[in-house]
Structure 1
């Protein structure tokens, strides 16, 4: 650590350290309203996640007025498997309160910059210390108020804290911009798939004598009538197929007996956590023989078929280094290589149905989607020319999405490499600013 960096317990540089509560009646008491109730599932080191955000009314919020979330507050998960996850709260999530699993850390801006606090807490060193503290509990992981108050933070001069936060924030902003661009591109592909293969908009327009809104050369590919099928009315000349018949679904294998963590030898094992968060300190590695079909490379379509129906069942495109497939994930290999975008769109468009299927079989928090389910799920198949046109329009979209994901990975690696060196004082801000300028950031 740099000699001009002070060290202080959080209690001395925070105006507030405290967690909230759940309104009486538990989650059944969420009455809706203008106040968000932030829970551990909304707090990630990568940032605030609004999915599943609960809402309470003013009466309930007034009962939790001592844990009102203010602009610039840092939120830290303090119990359970998500303990130590940390983020800053965005302004668009306010007004808000927190429940008992989340602690508010409010920096005293006389000594501590709020964004610097967040980056300090998500650094690998701090995360390891927090996890070690939390694991000392008798029953489950937990961080007490006393632990947080006595937790030591390195304090560069305030101007340096602000500069460090700005540098790391610039990288995070670019990551977020790429994510939003990705969402927009995927939304376009999703809308096109729904229009052509779910709502049959071009065919309906022709039946009703309206323009399809498509270029003439594409519009001419669609029929002007419907015919009956096992799916009901579909465009004339089209057929039906099970989702299973569109691709080979290669299931992974258990790699538990020879997994390594500290040495990181062999290939990383890809589980749902790796699909959602990339490789972390919790990733297991396999250093024994494996089947070639279980190798996953960048660009592979992966379908997580087992786990929590609402958070684990999903379709992903792999973008990281090569890894090995876990037994709860299918690698999806389209029967026709030109149909890759179509197969990916079919799987993603049925996300809600997959979640419902898994929920119907849910036991002890887990559900699953089987081969039988994939065989029973049907979808319409258009003419070769329509399928080729869809691929021509969407392949570029998905390739751009893949490139954006790869850029995000590079930016995250750069941020994660800079974070500990900036916080320790090993690397100074002017040096980093010059480096980022040279690479165009």
Structure 2
């Protein structure tokens, strides 16, 4: 068994303060604050491997950086003693800490050098640290690739729909369809045939993905758990469209019940629901729906199906429509697959991370991910 030794964080890193960035001209060097990337400048504060730790603000937003960077005064950067610790291993170790529990601020969450230096860490030999970091990094690489692929597909959809069906299409098309020609808002009551069901509220979906799949005791569900859904449906929140609370259902959803605050949009024509999904979630469409929501008097900015069904889709030609529908089918299949793979990898990482760091799972017994 490898020997694992206790250290204080202050014995393996030197915490350094960030500096003001306002005087720095624009450039290509990333400038980070506790909230993340702020802008790009032409000055470098540090150009070696480093872990960035928030000093004020979003305390758990730990970052690992290998490229030259600048940090502002809300973010510490670190000079790492690489004789004692492998930087990426230390990064993973530090992500397991809830820094809100170390908060010394009142109005603004804050961390100090003294508090951070006193953090206890356990380090195995450097070669074992390296091997553990490589395993976790391989999972992160797969996760990042899936996110990148998904983002590329979504960006392609934005370009395609802007060119052919949203903005420029008005100058190219003599034909229009309205959403009422294509979809209905359905409100079929869910039949509780078992003691459990998956309940989806507005917060349980986000920009295409269903975030919750766990069964709950049906007797504990809120009163708004009423609507049934089916494969191919689009869920779209009535409240604040700009918040991105929408999802495409690409799975058997017989045991799912959704909130009355979610519109269930179901295809009624020949145009595929994936086409409708990309049209409704296009930034220009969302911007328009948000404007309608904010113009409504009430507690929350809210839309209704009557406003969605009146949306007009410009059709430049039947051929372009057919080709786009085929692309949409393929794209939504890939996006939904990516989301499922992402969740599996994130769950795998969540299981492996504490076990590898604690030594419960030995790296030499671990098969390649």
What TM bracket, shorter-length normalisation? 0.7 to 0.9
CA distance in 1, matches of 2:56, 2:256: 31
3-state SS, counterpart of residue 79 of structure 2: strand
Give the match for residue 412 of structure 1.
Answer: 346
Trace 1:140-155 onto structure 2 (pairs within 5 A): 140-155=108-123
Asked if structure 1 preserves the Cα contact closer than 8 Å seen for 2:227 and 2:260, the reply is no
Q: CA deviation at 1:407?
A: 1.1
Deviation at 1:319, TM superposition (A): 8.4
Structure 2 residue aligned with 1:395: 329
Q: Please tell me whether residue 72 in structure 1 is matched to residue 10 in structure 2.
A: no
| Equivalent position of 1:13 in the other structure | 12
User: How far apart are residue 30 of structure 1 and its match?
Assistant: 7.5
Instruction: Quickly say closer, same or farther: Cα 1:188–1:103, change in 2 above 3 A.
Output: same
- Is residue 33 of structure 1 aligned with residue 27 of structure 2? yes
Please report how far the alpha carbon of residue 349 of structure 1 lies from its aligned counterpart in structure 2 after TM superposition: 2.4
Q: How much does 1:386 deviate?
A: 5.6
Residue by residue over 1:149-202, the C-alpha shift from the partner in whole angstroms, topping out at 9 and shown as x without a partner, is: 11111111111111100000011111122222323334444444344324778x
**Deviation at residue 370 of structure 1 after TM alignment:** 3.1
SS in structure 1 of the partner of residue 117 of structure 2: helix
Aligned length: 350
Q: Please state how far the C-alpha of 1:405 moved relative to its aligned partner.
A: 1.6
Unaligned runs of 5+ residues in structure 1 are 43-49, 62-67, 202-231, 252-264
The 1-side partners of 2:204 and 2:224 are apart by: 22
SS at match of 1:402: helix
Within-5 A mapping of 1:17-416: 17-23=15-21, 32-42=26-36, 53-56=38-41, 58=43, 68-80=45-57, 82-89=58-65, 91=67, 94=68, 96-123=69-96, 126-127=97-98, 130-134=99-103, 137-198=105-166, 232-236=170-174, 238-241=175-178, 247=183, 275=206, 287-293=220-226, 301-303=234-236, 312-313=243-244, 315-317=246-248, 332-336=265-269, 338-351=271-284, 354=287, 357=290, 368=301, 370-371=303-304, 374=308, 378-381=312-315, 387-416=321-350
1:308, 1:345 → 2: CA distance? 14
Three-state SS of the structure 1 residue aligned to 2:107 is coil
**Kindly tell me: are residues 359 and 235 of structure 1, through their superposed partners in 2, closer, same or farther at Cα, counting changes over 3 Å?**
closer
Unaligned runs of 5+ in 2: 188-195
TM-score by length of 1: 0.64
- C-alpha RMSD of the superposition: 4.3
Task: Report deviation, 1:290.
Answer: 4.3
How does the TM-score come out when normalised to structure 2?
Answer: 0.75
Determine the C-alpha separation between the residues in 2 that align with 1:356 and 1:100: 39
Q: Aligned in 2, Cα 1:240/1:172: closer, same or farther, shift over 3 Å?
A: same
CA contact (8 A) 1:13 1:107 kept: yes
8 Å CA contact 1:314, 1:351 repeated in 2:
no
Which residue does 1:216 correspond to in 2? none
* Partner secondary structure for residue 35 of structure 2: helix
